[in-house]
Structure 1
Amino acid sequence: MNQLDEQVARRLTRFYVLALTCIAVLSLSGLLFIRQTLSDHYDDSRVVNVAGRQRMLSQRLTKLALLRIMGTPTADTTSFSALLHTWSQSHIQLRNGDLRMEKAYVVRKSRQLDQMFAEIEPVFQSMYQSLVRIDVASATPEQKKTALQVILRDEPSFLNQMNAIVFQFDKESFERVRSLEQIEWVLTVATLLTLLIEGLLIFRPVVTHTKNVIRKLTQSDDALRAVNESLAVANTDLEVANQQLVKTQRELLRATEEKYRLQIAEETVRSAGLLEGQEEERRRFARELHDGIGQMLTGLKLHAEKLKVIPFPEPKHRQRFEELCELIYDVIQTTRQTSHNLMPSVLGDFGLGATLQLLAEQTTRSSGIEVIFEGDRDESRLPPAVEIGLYRIAQEALNNAIKHAQAQKIRISWQRAPKIVLAVEDNGKGFSVKSTPKYEKGIQPINGLENMRTRARLMNGDLTITSKLKKGTKVTVTLPDTTNG
């Protein structure tokens, strides 16, 4: 019995595969024929459109030539040369069977169309040479009038022959569509015959075989029910084992989360120590610049100013001395600015508000970009670590806006109550927050953004970055006001 079932199944499978293959081949063939014909018909429509446009262009060129010879002004602002070039190129492409517009179109032509293009070619060349002569500035008025007479003589013949060409294009396109209809009818009849044969030779045997299979399935239902009862007992045991597994997984997840929290805490401590070491090194280096190199440069400047009263033998020596004094002054200013950027003394003397105000003013002078500060400059002091952290975030955000955002205006906002909020907003080009921002010359301030986030996290605060393309970027730091100076 099993061997007989397998033989029947194999035979029916072969029939089914054969029938379905025939239907698939017929269906795909019809779809391909239709798709190809539609594409060809679209190309034919474009060709007919361009061929019809040739008539309009010839009439338009004739009118412009006549108006130019007569000296009559016209509202048509189209370039005569450009119009003549378009007319000539379209004719040549239609004649050669390779039309190039927004894409390349194949011009399907019969022998009759080739003959018609050969007949119209002398007329076209005569009109084209005459139009070129009218467009040439060196031609005499008499030559241009003679060319116009040739154009007026040849234009009716050109229009009549182009009409015939357009109608012939349309006729051949219609004949191709009718051929598609005939092929489609043949494919449809073949598909229906295949379905009829499948119903007679495959469907009816399958129905009979299915009846026998259902009868056998009914007989084996009792045995299957007994097996299901045994499986239910096994499922109960499996459920108990699954519960134990879930419990074990929860314990493992809890241990993993605890390990992750410990890693985060360790990373926070490491970051805090690193940033604190950086700030201490900046403070030391700023002090060295101010107290060491700055004082020596100031002394050098004083000595140089004393030499101003000494007469110089030549004027160029006096000029070089003045340039040297200016260079010393520039070095002193640069040293002071570098020292201020490393650790501004005003931050320790007057607080964060006054320091942000000074940062905005200095940035405006140095970059030429308008930087506006809004906030209270007489607030109570914050802990030194908080003031330094907020100042560094503002400094980093301001540098990013100047270097990468191409902004015209930057606004620094600062408030103390009810929460500590620091915001740096620009009107630059912005970026997509979902992806890493890409800047010119491959610069990506990933480390800068991560440093700002790390500083905000170490102060138990939140840092948010909102940005839209061509609408600017805003960096906001929010801290709970739990610190008292």
Structure 2
Amino acid sequence: MERLDKRVAGSLTRFYVVALCVVAMLTISGLFLIRRAINRLNHDSRIVNVAGRQRMLSQRLTKLAVLKTTGIPHRDHADAAALLDQWKNSHQQLASRKLPVGGRLVVWKSQALDSMFAALNPVFDSLFVQLSNAAGDSTPVRDRQLALGHVLDKEQEYLAGMDRIVYQFDRENVGRLENLERIEWILDIMTILVLFAEGLLIFRPVVNTTRRVVRMLTESENALQQSNEKLKETNRQLVVAQNELLRVEEEKYALQLAEDRVRAAALIEGQEEERKRFALELHDGIGQMLTALKLHAEKLKSVQFHEEKHQKQFGRLTALVQDIIQTTRQVSFNLMPSVLSDFGLQAALKLLCGQTAEASGIRIDFAVVADDSVKLERAVETGLYRIAQEALNNAVKHARATHIDMKLHQNHHLLTLEIADNGKGFLISNLNTEPAPPRIHQGIENIRTRTQLLNGHLEIISKVDSGTRLVIRVDL
């Protein structure tokens, strides 16, 4: 089989490539000639139209000159000067063999046409001068009548010359078409000859070789069937082994996901513990020292300062201490709100909405429908509080919202937290690809991770300029 393939390839490839190249060259040549002929026909038709228009313009200019000279009332209000300029420009373009067509400059070669235009140029120049005099408003009546007489004398000679030019254009066009037709016939005959040679030297040997190959393939079919039976058995064994490998990989992937979830849970739990410790340090350490500093400062209010500016500086210092105390309390609350551990999730979310609305100036409505008899685990309360905190932060800083709704639904089996805003929204499909600030994507990922750690389900509903709604469902 290998020797046969080499023999067939060596004997047929050269003929086949040569035949294809010749056919391709003939085809491309025919297409090029046809395309060129079409372009020339378009150009020739444009040239003939312009030449025919020259006859019409000369007759119209003569008519306008007659009407203006004799004073006959008429409705033709065309601008004679503009028509004269157009007539002159077209004549110069035709005589110089440079006619603009469709943004391009059409150029042609014809000694006969050059001779005709050279013979017609004196007649045209004389007509142009006399038509300018006859159509001019400042020309005396006597001179205008003389100019009109000259125009009438020369008009027939100009029209006859333009007729000869138009007929010459047409004869040359017909000659080019006849020449193209002869070339096309030659190309068609050559293509037929090449195809005949291809069938005789290529396709006939291919048919004979194919017949031999088919006979050899038929003889080897029985051996291939036996080999196929053995391969089927081997394939069945491979499929069993592959299924076993897939099962092991799935178990390994599931174990890895579980490990990642445990690791993330431990990391978040450590973060919460560290936040709690840091919040206590701020509240019980720095907060107490700042409170003591405020008390000592207030005792100094009774001291009389000698200068008023010292009194003002002391007032600003007291206000600054109060701001630092308030900021410290706010940071401590954000790290670990005591109301969450003292009064539960509902009170913490209500307080969070109030503080966020006061700080941002955005209207935030909080509604709760919950069964007070159902006690939530500490991890669930903390996770949902952090989710609400992250969602409010995204809506205030990135969504440009003016109104936010937060709803908490809770019963014995299901807890649902819903946060909706009327901000600018986004496309869900572009969540990981759109050129948005990384903080938005990080916030969404934090919410998704915390929801997964609670064994919950996150639903994001958003459209551009239609706001965003987050729905977190936790099975209790």
* Matching of residue 292 in structure 1 with residue 296 in structure 2: no
SS of equivalent to 2:427: coil
CA contact (8 A) 1:353 1:376 kept: no
1:332-343 to 2 correspondence within 5 Å?
332-343=325-336
SS of equivalent to 1:392: helix
The aligned residue for residue 432 of structure 1 is 427
| Aligned equivalent of 1:367, options 357, 360, 365 | 360
CA contact (8 A) 2:276 2:335 kept: yes
1:173-252 to 2 correspondence within 5 Å?
190=183, 193-203=186-196, 206=199, 210=203, 214=207, 217-218=210-211, 221-252=214-245
CA distance, structure 2, for counterparts of residue 401 and residue 181 of structure 1? 78
Note the C-alpha offset of 1:25.
4.4
Instruction: Report which of the two structures shows the higher radius of gyration computed on alpha carbons.
Output: 2
- One-letter code of the match for 2:395? A
The aligned residue for residue 379 of structure 2 is 385
The aligned residue for residue 470 of structure 2 is 475
Q: Evaluate the alpha carbon distance shift between residue 225 and residue 439 of structure 1 in structure 2; reply closer, same or farther with a 3 A threshold.
A: closer
| Aligned equivalent of 2:338, options 345, 367, 370 | 345
The aligned residue for residue 283 of structure 1 is 276
CA distance, structure 2, for counterparts of residue 252 and residue 469 of structure 1? 45
CA distance, structure 2, for counterparts of residue 109 and residue 12 of structure 1? 42
Note the C-alpha offset of 1:386.
0.1
* Matching of residue 409 in structure 1 with residue 413 in structure 2: no
SS of equivalent to 1:475: strand
SS of equivalent to 1:376: strand
The aligned residue for residue 28 of structure 2 is 24
SS of equivalent to 1:430: coil
CA distance, structure 2, for counterparts of residue 364 and residue 12 of structure 1? 82
Q: Evaluate the alpha carbon distance shift between residue 395 and residue 3 of structure 1 in structure 2; reply closer, same or farther with a 3 A threshold.
A: closer
Note the C-alpha offset of 1:431.
2.5
- One-letter code of the match for 1:414? L
CA contact (8 A) 1:414 1:421 kept: yes
CA distance, structure 2, for counterparts of residue 258 and residue 220 of structure 1? 51
- One-letter code of the match for 1:420? L
The aligned residue for residue 349 of structure 2 is 356
SS of equivalent to 2:299: helix
Note the C-alpha offset of 1:221.
4.5
List gaps (5 residues or longer) in structure 2. Answer: 46-101, 108-116, 118-136, 139-168
- 1:376-412 superposed Cα distances (whole Å, 9 cap, x missing partner): 3774431110000001011112112222222222222
Note the C-alpha offset of 1:333.
0.9
- 1:428-469 superposed Cα distances (whole Å, 9 cap, x missing partner): 2222322326566x5444433322222111111112333222
Q: Evaluate the alpha carbon distance shift between residue 332 and residue 224 of structure 1 in structure 2; reply closer, same or farther with a 3 A threshold.
A: same
CA contact (8 A) 1:30 1:184 kept: no
CA distance, structure 2, for counterparts of residue 445 and residue 181 of structure 1? 74
CA contact (8 A) 1:12 1:202 kept: no
SS of equivalent to 1:244: helix
TM-score using structure 1 length: 0.63
CA distance, structure 2, for counterparts of residue 4 and residue 324 of structure 1? 101
Q: Percent identity?
A: 40
TM-score using structure 2 length: 0.64
Q: Evaluate the alpha carbon distance shift between residue 300 and residue 202 of structure 1 in structure 2; reply closer, same or farther with a 3 A threshold.
A: same
List gaps (5 residues or longer) in structure 1. Answer: 42-104, 113-151, 154-175
CA contact (8 A) 1:431 1:437 kept: no
The aligned residue for residue 89 of structure 2 is none
CA contact (8 A) 1:286 1:343 kept: yes
* Matching of residue 14 in structure 1 with residue 7 in structure 2: no
- 1:229-259 superposed Cα distances (whole Å, 9 cap, x missing partner): 1111111111111221122111111111111
Note the C-alpha offset of 1:369.
2.2
* Matching of residue 268 in structure 1 with residue 261 in structure 2: yes
SS of equivalent to 1:429: coil
- 1:70-129 superposed Cα distances (whole Å, 9 cap, x missing partner): xxxxxxxxxxxxxxxxxxxxxxxxxxxxxxxxxxx957499x9xxxxxxxxxxxxxxxxx
CA contact (8 A) 2:458 2:472 kept: yes
